[in-house]
Amino acid sequence: MAQGRLRVLLGAAPGVGKTYTMLEEGRRLRADGNDVVVALMEDHGRDATAAMAQGLETIPRLAVEHRGVTLTDLDLAAVLARKPEFALVDELAHTNAPGLAHEKRWQDVQTLLEAGINVISTVNIQHIESLNDVVLQITGVQQRETIPDAVLRGADEIELVDLTPQALRERLSDGLVYPQSRIDAALSNYFRLGNLTALREIALLWLADEVDSALNKYRTEHGIDAKWEARERVVVALTGGPEGETLLRRGARIAARSAGGELIAVHVTAQDGLREPDPGALAAQRLLVERLGGSYHQILGGDVPRALVDFARAANATQLVIGVSRRTRLASLLSGPGIGATVVRESGDIDVHIVTHSAAGGRFALPRLAGALTLRRRLLGWVLAVAGGPLLTWLLAALRTPQSITVEVLSYQLLVVLVALVGGFGPAVFAALLSGLTLDYFFIEPLHRVTINEPSHFAALVLYVINAVLVSYVVDQAARRSRAAARAGAESELLATVAGNVLRGGDALQSLISRTREAFGLSGARLSAGDDVLAVDGDTDGAAHRTSLPVGSRATLELYGRDLEAADSRLLAAIAAQIEATLDYRDLSEAAREIGPLAEADRVRSALLQAVGHDLRRPLTAATAAITGLRSTDVTWSEKDREDLLATAEESLNSLSDLVTNLLDASRLQAGVLAVELAPTDVEDVVLPALEELGVGPADVDLDLPESLQPVLADAVLLRRVIVNLLANALQHSPPDRPAVIAASQFAGSCEIRIIDHGPGVPADRHQDMFLPFQRRGDTDNQTGLGLGLALSKGFAEGMGGSLEIEETPGGGLTMVVSLRQAASESVQVPQTGQVRE
């Protein structure tokens, strides 16, 4: 019997339309004449999904009794007996009711496939076993029902049912996913925009990996050994010239043609002085790389083409983009094949794109001499000395006249100078000796004999040698100075790049170590302090050679790979100094972080003194004046006056008591010693007394507390104070025609209490400032306390293991959201005394 085919519809979150798409596909298959049944479908109360199932044959669910509760599930035996061509089975990761043939629904599906029945099923990305912990970190929700990756990857087809996060939230707000009572909690918890974006990205990446696996499986089954690069990795070579922007944009377009293509820019800083990049242009191109979504790298290399190809291979590049040479044809003829030709020859299986640009051969310039006497130049000098002498002799002999001796002497002198310029000291001295002997043999009487019978002949030969030595010495010194200048420029450019990476953020030490390893072409680098590894990059285990460099007295920089040259020591010393400075900066930052709380405490104490000087004095003065007046014997008070004075004293003393209580609580919060007793607490048992304390009724506050609301883990006294503080603010700022709202909802083990006002609101950039102690709205109202209400409320909420956040109310106003953990209903909660964390 042929095995059935499995098609899985994958979604990033509930509500994207997997079940609807499954039913839609079932209707299409039935319209094409196929035998289709709905083996199991969960519509979750969604009318559009239920309507899509109408007209399709549905297998009745199997009823199962479990602990006095009737559960319904997939009737596997009925589906096997019916044996349709296609079976629609929803929620592949579902756990079956106890007592059925299989524990999981995907096991039922495997049985259907073995019976030759094709199955279309659905699953969400959070139910995949390997992604379960990742989804938990993102959403905070533990998924109990999972499916092994191997089962899902074994499907014949996997299709992503995609929906943008904003569109999904709009569907949720419209009541198309959950009932109205669950919408508010869902939007604020699992269905947050950030959560949905992350889940969608995970789904896309997982599916991309599955496509790669399917491609590899196909190649294995068909015996295809040739490399198929499904994802492009494009390396763009930057010289610092004006063509860099053109090359980067071309490379970005090449990378964009392949899904997941990567753009990598590299600048090879040569040590031979052949290139003088414009630092400003390189900085601008580096920023362009970042805007294009790529990464920028800089390496040192004496052989630029070889360094470029080696970097491309190390980066596993598939494409290499370089620019057409900016040299003129004359310069190309004189200096041989350029970087582009060498890169093409050495690239192997890496595709090379040579891109033309406006700067290609665009200016005439004499070819510049190399800044160092390479082996190639010395060999060329010897060739010029050996071949140039005979050729010049033949030419001068053919044109010789009795009066041409001056021309002949100057010609040989010119040959010596040219050889010195090209080949340096050795070829120049050889050319001088050869020229002197040739001149004496062919052009000075007696001819064809080497005789030095006159002092002038010997002097001429000595002058030839002296000229050759002087010119070659000047050339050697110029080459050495040019090499030193090029090296210094390369080192400065590297240090600037390293410093730029540090300043742009991230791990400064790791950036320094990574750039150092990359710049010197090493296999690995490690920074350690004793037994502690501070930063590591590359392979530090397999290298045969290791170089250790002390970094001050606290750390050691270990470099793995090739032997470093003596010329590298100065740059390494500078990098070590910068690493040491970074370590010092880190220590100073730690010290600053330790001092920060002390400065904050000092600020709070200063504000406290100011508050005591004004806010406490006002009620104390009023109470004192009232009591003094009552005790006075000079005035006879009427009964009404006495009542007014007593009321004033009582009101002032109550206000003073509240202020002192808030100050003490603020001090305890600051010290982290506020006692908190957590116990299961009903939200309505806290909200209703809070309303009574504020003296408000239904006309002032709308209540939306579901009957199914579970108790929360809280300190009832502190939670009541939080609600009183928040509701007092909401009542103060709500307009008369729109009362404040207290709403509660629960989701994924947490409960959110929302206190909503429809007042003028507060700018978003000032939301967090509202939680600072001694802050009043506008800092001008001195009649409403010390400005500690929100600060205390946030501290109390966090002390109970929850949080207090601010949201903007749609249509204007603020919504204060108190989030608390739900109390576990399975166990008895013992009140605990904890401490508020700072």
625 and 718 fall within a common domain: no
- Taking the CA atoms of residue 808, residue 810, residue 812 and residue 816 in that order, the dihedral angle to the nearest 10 degrees is -40
Residue 783 in tokens: 């009649």
Task: Verify that 576 and 589 share a domain, yes or no.
Answer: no
Most confident of 160-174, 447-461, 491-505: 160-174
Model confidence at 838: pLDDT above 80: no
- For the chain, the domain total comes to 6
| Residue 250, burial from CB neighbour count under 10 angstroms (0-12, 13-18, 19+) | middle
Q: Report the pLDDT value the prediction gives residue 290, as an integer from 0 to 100.
A: 83
Q: What is the pLDDT of residue 399?
A: 83
CB within 8 Å of 396: residues ≥ 6 apart: 404, 407, 408, 411, 442, 443
- For residue 801, the surrounding DSSP H or E stretch is none
Which range (219-228, 283-292, 495-504) has the least confidence? 219-228
What would the pLDDT profile of 549-600 be if each residue is shown by its tens digit?
888 878 888 888 877 766 677 677 778 887 888 888 778 877 877 776 666 5
Give 484: exposed, middle or buried? Use CB within 10 Å, 0-12, 13-18, 19+. middle
pLDDT at 744 over 80: yes
> What is the three-class DSSP state of 729?
helix
Q: What's 642's domain CATH number?
A: 1.10.287.130
Question: How many whole angstroms from its chain centre is CA 750?
Answer: 30
Of 561, 580, 599, which residue is a domain's last? 580
Strand partners, 122: 9
The C-alpha R_g of the chain, in whole angstroms, comes to 42
694: pLDDT strictly greater than 80: yes
With bands split at pLDDT 50, 70 and 90, how would you rate the model's confidence at 273?
very low
Residue 274 pLDDT > 70, yes or no? no
pLDDT at 244: 87
**pLDDT of 171 strictly over 90:** no
Q: What is the mean pLDDT of the chain?
A: 77
Q: Is the pLDDT of residue 836 over 90?
A: no
| pLDDT tens track for 207-222 | 876 665 555 555 556 5
pLDDT for residue 405 is more than 90:
no
pLDDT in tens, 32-84: 999 999 999 988 888 888 999 998 999 999 988 877 788 889 999 999 999 99
> What values do phi and psi take at 131, rounded to 5?
-105, 0
**pLDDT tens readout for residues 88-116:** 999 999 998 888 889 999 999 999 999 99
Residue 266 has pLDDT above 50, yes or no: yes
Are 531 and 567 part of one and the same domain? Answer: yes
- Co-location of 608 and 690 in the same domain: no
Domain encompassing residue 351: 233-355
Sequence-distant (≥ 6) Cβ neighbours of residue 22 within 8 angstroms: 9, 41, 88, 90, 120, 121, 122
pLDDT tens profile 811-822: 778 888 899 988
Evaluate whether residue 551 is within a structural domain: yes
Average pLDDT over residues 642-652: 82
Classified as helix, coil or strand, 731 is helix
C-alpha dist (Å) from residue 728 to 733, 789, 791: 9, 9, 14
CA dihedral angle for residue 246, residue 251, residue 252, residue 258, rounded to 10 degrees:
150
CA–CA gap between residue 744 and residue 708 (Å, rounded): 11
Eight-class DSSP state of 710 = P
Report pLDDT for 35. 95
For residue 26, pLDDT over 60 is answered with: yes
Band (pLDDT 50/70/90 cuts) for residue 454 is: low
Q: Collapsing DSSP states into helix, strand and coil, what is residue 38?
A: strand
Take residue 684 and report the two structure tokens written for it: 């309505």
pLDDT reported for residue 330? 45
Closest alpha carbon to 753 in 698, 791, 793? 793
Confidence at residue 461, expressed as pLDDT on a 0 to 100 scale: 65
pLDDT of residue 561: 81
pLDDT band at 654 (very low <50, low <70, confident <90, very high): confident
Arithmetic mean of pLDDT, 708-730: 86
pLDDT score recorded for residue 607 = 54
Locate 671 and state its tokens: 């010290």
Q: Which burial class, exposed, middle or buried, applies to 427 when counting CB atoms under 10 A from its CB (0-12, 13-18, 19+)? A: buried
Sign of the CA dihedral 530, 533, 537, 539? positive
Backbone angles phi, psi at 685, to 5 degrees: -70, -15
What average pLDDT does range 673-699 have in this prediction? 81
CA 770 – CA 224 distance, rounded (Å): 65
CATH classification at residue 828:
3.30.565.10
If asked whether residues 190 and 90 sit together in one domain, one would say yes
Contacts of 753 (CB under 8 A, 6+ apart): 683, 687, 723, 742, 743, 744, 817, 818, 820
824 and 731 belong to one structural domain: yes
How high is the pLDDT of residue 671?
54
Rounded Cα distance, 759 and 809, in Å = 9
Q: Would you say how long the chain is, in residues?
A: 838
Q: Is the residue at 519 inside a domain? A: yes
User: For 297-316, how does the pLDDT look when each residue is reduced to its tens digit (9 = 90+)?
Assistant: 888 777 788 888 888 887 77
Decide which of 221, 249, 278 is a domain's last residue.
Answer: 221
pLDDT over threshold 90, residue 707: no
Q: Which residue has the tokens 């310029």?
A: 421
562: buried, middle or exposed (CB in 10 Å: 19+, 13-18, 0-12)?
A: middle
Q: Is the residue at 731 inside a domain?
A: yes
Q: How far apart are CA 836 and CA 671, in angstroms?
A: 9
Which is more confident, 212 or 343?
Answer: 343
Q: pLDDT category, 293, cuts 50, 70, 90?
A: confident
The pLDDT of residue 104: 92
Are 410 and 519 part of one and the same domain?
no
pLDDT for position 325: 72
Whole-number pLDDT of residue 161 = 92
Same domain for 91 and 198, yes or no, is yes
731 and 615 within one domain = no
Report yes or no: 271 and 490 within 8 Å, Cβ to Cβ: yes
Residue 357 confidence (pLDDT)? 67
Output the domain CATH number for residue 244: 3.40.50.620
Single-letter amino acid, residue 107: Q
- Whether 413 maps to a domain, the answer reads yes
Q: State the Cα–Cα distance between residues 521 and 266, nearest whole angstrom.
A: 13
What is the predicted pLDDT for the residue at 118?
Answer: 95
Q: Which of 518, 551, 580 is the last residue of a domain?
A: 580
Cα 583 to Cα 577: distance, rounded to the nearest angstrom: 10
Residue 252 placed within a domain: yes
Report if residue 728 sits inside a domain.
Answer: yes
Question: Is pLDDT larger for residue 667 or for residue 268?
Answer: 268
- In the structure, what pLDDT confidence band is assigned to residue 225 with cuts at 50, 70 and 90? very low
Gap between the Cα atoms of 27 and 691, Å rounded = 56
CB atoms within 10 A of CB 546: 12
Do 105 and 245 reside in the same domain of the chain?
no
Least confident of 194-208, 550-564, 755-769: 755-769
Cα separation values, 17 from 23, 52, 95, Å: 10, 12, 21
Same domain, 77 and 111: yes
In a domain? residue 149: yes
State the Cα–Cα distance between residues 468 and 181, nearest whole angstrom: 98
Least trusted range by pLDDT, from 110-119, 133-142, 477-486: 477-486
pLDDT at 831: 40
More confident residue, 276 or 416: 416
Query: Using 50, 70 and 90 to split pLDDT, how confident is the model at 825?
Result: very low
Higher pLDDT among residues 466 and 286, named by residue = 286
Q: Based on the domain organization, do 538 and 465 belong to the same domain?
A: no
pLDDT of 541 above 90: no
Look up residue 529 and give its two tokens: 């302090």
Rounded Cα distance between 375 and 320, Å, is: 29
Cβ-contact 372, 273 below 8 angstroms: yes
In a domain, 102, yes or no: yes
What pLDDT was estimated at residue 11?
A: 92
- In this prediction, residue 20 carries a pLDDT of 93
Bigger pLDDT: 781 or 460? 460
Q: For position 787, what pLDDT does the model report?
A: 52
Question: SS3 of 273, please?
Answer: coil
